[in-house]
Structure formats: structure tokens, C-alpha cells
Amino acid sequence: MGENEKKAIIAARIREARIAAGLTQGQVAKMLGLHRPSVSEMEGGNRSVTVEELSKLAEAFDVSLSWLAGEGVDKVDVLDNQLQLAARELRKLKPGDLERLLKIIASMRGGRGPA
Amino acid sequence: MSASTRALAHTAMVESIEVRDEWDREHDGPLDVYALCKDMGVKVRFVDIASMEGLYGRGRDGKAVIWLSSLRPMPRRNFSCAHELGHHVFCHGSTVDELVECVGTATKVFKPEEFLADTFAGFLLMPTLGVRKAFASRGWKAGTATPVQVYTVACHFGVGYDTLISHLLHSLEAIDPIRAAQLRKVGPKDIRHQVLGTPTPEPLVIADQHWGAPTVDMEVGTLLLLPEGSVVEGNVIAFQAEHPSGRLFRAVRPGVARVTCPGPEWAVFARVSRYQFVGFAEYRHFDQEEDDE
């Protein structure tokens, strides 16, 4: 993987994880003590992200640092016997929603970001 | 209620009391279920999935997560969160493939785990002492309360009107089935119409000086009826109109605003989230600039 390709993956994952966490660019900037354009540039792949920043972002977004740093793949194994769930409404889910939900469930395992 | 379901209900009630005790919550007031989840180490995340209510999961590392549909009304989300927390407390869980196998099967089967979680949620959010106090402090009685009074108490606990009626009927046995049916003949839409004098599709929160929590939680678009003379600081809540029953405000942007009422020296923080907020519960009331995405 080239440097630019990795940078693009990191940028895309920061954006994806930020949105899934429910944060705006301005809110993330405030959490990291940065100006808002800095976060916008990170997500655009136009600014390098330090390890310290990535670590803070991973904590804020509740994703693993390695995934946010571009490691691993986006494909997830949605069926995991070691994950215990309680769901009263699963059987009522529409097929598309079920697929989305299973991806979200898979995201809680290590080495992966948000679904 | 059969003996076995009564025993389950008793277990749920006792556990809800123990949770309040263990996590230092009073027994006579409303509860911020998201703050409780945070204290208990359970992460709560809102997702925009239309055909689900909630889901509880526990990973192999012991990490617990509750997913809630952001597309449900706020009182429903609160109750679902307490329900899923019940699964956490009672250590319920099936594997994903077991649950997926159930997709498409019949749903009208009594499931003790679901009954337990539901009853736990009811008692956790609406403790017996708290419900009594909520009616008594306003000079009302549960057995004779009007729909508007029941609605006001439902707002007090952050639950839906029908949820409170069910709790009063089945769990607390404070009203009989006839009274419950009479109350259910009047829906929240009718109550909003009655209180505001005009048909209003937006959700309405009625908060008065007997409000038992330090916060009033809303999302953008929610209407808030406050006692006469109430003042709101900042630009999170906007004044709408004076009403015979108080001052009407609307939540217009995410953030936190201080509300004061000079007469009875009552103050509360109004917390507003984005409409149908998607993300972690702990971020839902963060301030947001207008052009910030």
C-alpha cells in the first residue's frame, strides 16, 4: 500500500468513525484542541495526523487505534458465537435493516471501526 | 397476572431498587438512564435503523453496548434503553446466529426474559415511591388523575403516556383496567391539543416546579411548556408563546440552556440533542455551530 493510499484510508476512516460517533468536525476540533479546518483537512487527506491525535480520535470514536490508522480490512464477519446479544425485535427487522444491524454489531469487536 | 409472572415482576422490581442503591440514585425521583449506563460501563449508541427498538450486546472482552433506534420517539428510546439495561443486569444473551435463526418466526410467544427486562425498565424509570411523590407533590392522585395530569407525570419520568398508564395498571396496580381504558381513549395528540389550544404535531414536554430531575432532555423541534414567568438563557431554546398554562418554548439547536422560574425558585438545565441524533449518548447534547457538520 502506497503512502497516499494509506493517507486516504485514514482520512476516510476518521470521517466514517466521527459521523458514527455523532460528532461534528467542530466538536472534534474542540475535543482535540484544534481549529475546525484542521479536522476538515484530516478528513480530506490533506493533513498528516500524528499518533497522539489518532489515539485521541480512536478513544473519542470508540474504535481501535489500529483500524483508524489504516490497518485491517473493512469486511467484517457478522456471525460471531462469542458475542452475546439480547434482542427482542430482531425478528421484526426488515432484511436491509438486519444486514445493517449485523454490521453494526460486528463493529463492537476488536480491530474494527464503526459499521 | 399468574404466580410465575408475579414472581418475575417482583424480581424485576427488587433488581431495579438494587441498581438504584448500588449506583447511588434516589428512589423517589426520575433517573437519567443514559448517565446510569455510563456509570455502569455500558456504552449507548443511537443508530438510524427504522425497524428495531433496541439491542443489547456483550463482547468477548466483556464490553457491553446498547444500540437504540434514533428513529423512535424520545420517551420510547428512554424506555428501550432501560429495557436493554435490564438484559445487562440479568446477564441475558444469545449468540448472533441463534437470533438470526429466529428471524421470521412467530412473535406472540411469552418470553420471560423480555417480560423481566420490560418490568425492570418500568420500575427503574418509574419507582413506586417516585410515582407516588410525582402525583402527591402536585396535589393529584393516580387513581383520579386526568389525562393531562398523567401526561405531565409521564414527562416527569421521561416515558410515554401509554407506558405510564401500563405501569400504573399492571406493575403498581394504582389504577384499574376501566380507568386505564378511559385514559387511553385520550391520546397524546389530544392532550397537546387540549393544553396548547391548537393541533400540534411536535412532541411536547410539560415541566413544572415539581420536576424531579436537574435536567429536561429534548431534541430539536420539541416543544417545552414551562411555568409562568420562566426564563431561558442562551439560544438553544426559543420562546414561542404565552399560554394560560405557562410559557411555551421550542428546542431549536443542540446544546444546554439554563431555565429559571422566579416564583417558586425553580431551576433546571434544558438539554437539547440533534433531531433523531445518531451517535454515542454521551455526545448528544454537545453544542453545535450552525454551519458545523
pLDDT in tens, B31-53: 999 999 999 999 999 999 888 88
Taking the Cβ of residue A34 and every Cβ of chain B, the question of whether any pair is shorter than 8 Å is answered with: no
Chain A within 8 Å of B279 (Cβ-Cβ)? yes
* The pLDDT of residue A111: 46
Interface with chain A: mutation pick from B51, B60, B96, B276, highest number of A CBs within 10 Å? B96
Helix (H, G, I), strand (E, B) or coil at B272: strand
Name the minimum distance, in Å, from the CA of B135 to any CA of chain A: 32
Residue B59 is nearest to which of A24, A92, A108, comparing CB atoms?
A108
Query: What's the pLDDT tens digit per position in B74-105?
Result: 999 999 999 999 999 998 876 555 555 555 55
Alpha carbon of A27: minimum distance to chain B alpha carbons (Å): 7
Report the C-alpha gap between A109 and B58 in whole angstroms.
10
Min mean pLDDT across A56-60, A68-72, B105-109, B271-275 is at: B105-109
What is the average pLDDT score of chain A? 81
**Residue B135 CA to chain centroid, in angstroms?**
17
Can you give the pLDDT at residue A108? 60
Q: Looking at the predicted structure, is the pLDDT value of residue A27 above 70?
A: yes
Residue type, position A75, single letter? K
Nearest in space to B165 (alpha carbons), one of B286, B177, B268: B177
**Highest-pLDDT range among B52-61, B91-100, B141-150, B227-236:** B141-150
Q: Which residue of A has its CA nearest to B115?
A: A88
CB contact under 8 A, B95 and A84: yes
In angstroms, how far is CA B185 from the centroid of its own chain?
A: 21
Cα separation of the two ends of chain B:
50
Residues B14-34 have a mean pLDDT of 97
Other C-beta atoms lying within 10 Å of the C-beta of residue A99: 13
Judged against a pLDDT cut of 90, whether residue B242 lies above it is answered with yes
The secondary structure of residue B107, as a DSSP letter, is -
Which residues contact residue B64 at a Cβ distance below 8 angstroms, ignoring those fewer than 6 apart? B41, B42, B43, B56, B57, B58, B88
- Give me the mean pLDDT over the B122-149 stretch: 97
Instruction: Please give the interface size between A and B, counted as residue pairs whose CB atoms are below 8 Å apart.
Output: 145
Q: Which positions in chain A touch B89 (Cβ < 8 Å)?
A: none
Average pLDDT, chain B: 92
Helices (H) and strands (E) in chain B, counts: 10, 13
Mutate to test the interface with A, among B37, B42, B46, B51 (most CBs of A within 10 A): B51
Angle, CA of A73, A28 and B238, to the nearest 5°: 130
pLDDT > 80? residue B11: yes
CB within 8 Å: A89 and B279:
no
Task: Give alpha helix (H) positions in A22-108.
Answer: 25-32, 36-43, 51-61, 65-68, 95-106
Single pTM value for the model: 0.91
In this prediction, residue A92 carries a pLDDT of 72
Q: What is the pLDDT of residue B177?
A: 97
Confidence band (pLDDT; 50, 70, 90) for B205? very high
Q: Does the pLDDT value for residue B139 go beyond 80?
A: yes
Per-residue b/e over B150-180, b at no fewer than 16 CB within 10 Å?
Answer: bbbbbbbbbbbbbbbbbbbbbbbebbeeebe
Q: Is residue A33 very low, low, confident or very high in pLDDT (cuts 50, 70, 90)?
A: very high
- What was the pLDDT predicted at B111? 84
**B96 and A CB contact within 8 Å:** yes
Calculate ∠ Cα A93-B48-A76, nearest 5°.
70
Specify whether the CB–CB gap between A79 and A101 falls below 8 A: no
